[in-house]
Structure 1
Amino acid sequence: MKELLVEQEKNNKIYGYARCSTNETKQDIQRQVRELKELGATDKTIYTEYESGAKRDRIELNRLLEVIQNGDTLVTTEVSRISRSMKDLIEILDILKDKMVKVILGSFTLDFRNGDVDPMVKAMVNMLGVFGEMERDITSSRVKSGLENAKANGKKLGRPNTTIDNIPNIFLKYYPRYKSKKINKAELAKLCKMSRTTIYKYIRLLE
């Protein structure tokens, strides 16, 4: 994992994808970023976001899948960073296969550039996808059980209402740039690593 990738052809790029499920106040995504840089990706070619691995429609992942081209390489620190859903993992790998790129998921390499993929490696990746989905389902089941138990004991459940007082600092940092029309809503969402729905909610609160 720590070894640098074989030097790419002149026009090919190494892209990196890093993902955490919770926001930047709870999980540090920089460890992944550092490892991706060691593998040859750069600040300009690394896409990061805070989204659930069970969610297929992720802004930065979709952007990455659009820009990556034939002969390029995509690296992640592990399979689950790409997806925790077996169905979505297969769909994403099919997209990368059609684009004929090299995919490195942790210790597994799927080289679609020549159309030849080691069937054993692909089977192992698929199996990891199954385990990732199962782990997610078990965690979800435990959370639901805990919520039901708390509700039975009379505890108040649900997220606290969002107010101006608890808008994240990272949004407040970039909001003035949006207000002065230096960036649009999409760019603001990217800088804050938030969904557009969340961005719209915060803007409504402030305006």
Structure 2
Amino acid sequence: MTDNLDKIKSVGIYVRVSTDAQDLEKQVEQLSNYADRHYPEATQSLYKDEGTGTDTERNGYKRLMDDLEQYDVVVVRSVSRVSRSISDLERTVDEFKENNTALVFMNEPIEFQPEDEDPYSRAMLQLLGVFAELEANMIQDRIKQSIETLQNNGFKWGRAPLGFSKNNGELIPENNLQQICAVLEMVDDDEMSQRKGAQRLDTSRTTIRRALEDEDRRQLYNLD
């Protein structure tokens, strides 16, 4: 568990339920009690989302990620509450590291520190990295196929979209395209605001909106 407990002054708690059968308040109580035991001197702030399985709004999670730098630790019930894929988890961990915030999954249990030296956590991240690399290669293949399909259908781009350059009229993916796709996916899933996404990618909110709303661009960023 997190060292230097006296330095833990603020804890964020995130809960999410996706069906009527899940008890939101029970999760709140469990996580609050966990934080009381492990971080007795810290103040607690609650973020929560509740909806059906088809409800993709995650405004509580988006607010948490926007406020992340305010917290020393964030506690959630399980990996599935914040991540739906291997690369999604890796992106989440990176986001926490950038904000110098620890991430604790109560049920697994797994804890990721901003500068983690724990062999188990390092091994977990290394394993996740292997799968993330495989997933990245698959995404790149799908993006290349989308480019070929659009070009074969006679589609011509004006200015090169975010994350691409042009060579003799053909789109060429840039080295940071995977990062761009990851950020756009988080914005599209309401896990990051357009403002923060634009800041992360050093671009404008108009560019972010165009990437998300234009059907052809969505194919390029593997959002469909």
Shorter-chain TM range is 0.3 to 0.5
Looking at secondary structure, tell me which structure has more strand per residue. Answer: 2
TM-score (normalizing by structure 1): 0.47
Q: Normalising by structure 2, report the TM-score.
A: 0.44
